[in-house]
Amino acid sequence: MPPRLLVVGLGNLPYPNTRHSVGHVIVDALAARFGIHMSINRSVGGFIGHSDVLSFSDDIVSLTLFKPKLLMNITGPSVASALRNTVKLPASMVVVHDSLDHKVKVLSVKLGGSANGHNGVRSVIDALGANADFYRFRIGIGRDRAVDPANYVLSDMPLDELLHWNGVGLDRVCSELGRVVSRNRAI
């Protein structure tokens, strides 16, 4: 049986291609790269797709992609439902989300820990309770101190950032997903 991996992209469906929805952008890019069809699944509350893919570490991986339909700050219950219905183990889940604290186009990987002020991540942690040790791919969106953070994160992502996360940045995401799969095999 191939290793299983759930990749969740946080975002707000009414605001596509904004900085706050970079998790959705990356899940969509992964779906395109691996030919995974995403469709609405009301029982888990979002768009989900699955395929066994040859990738990451030149091995077959059972990859499930998920984009919650709920607004980011209340997305935790649907993420917990997707986890229960797919990979079961939090360490086999990667949550991709925006980070004001990281420079633009930077990918920072973290296992467990606090939400660091991110309400979407806080909602996921609250829904999972004590089992909140999942991987986080924090996607740097930078910060413009002259603009209100709420307005900044809901502004459209510049074209160069969109292209990055559909190209070189996506290659880096795939490389890090390979590392997650390898670490999980060692457990």
Indicate which residues carry an active-site annotation. Answer: 20
At 133, give phi and psi (nearest 5°): -85, 75
Query: In 3-state terms, what secondary structure has residue 101?
Result: coil
Q: Show the tokens assigned to 154.
A: 């809901």
Q: Rounded CA gap, 139 and 131, in Å? A: 23
Degrees, nearest 5: CA angle 181-157-103 = 60
Q: 3-state secondary structure string, 150-182?
A: HHHHCCECCHHHHHHHCCHHHHHHHHHHHHHHH
- Asked if 67 and 115 count as a contact pair (C-beta separation under 8 A), the reply is no
Whole-angstrom distance, CA of residue 167 vs CA of residue 152 = 24
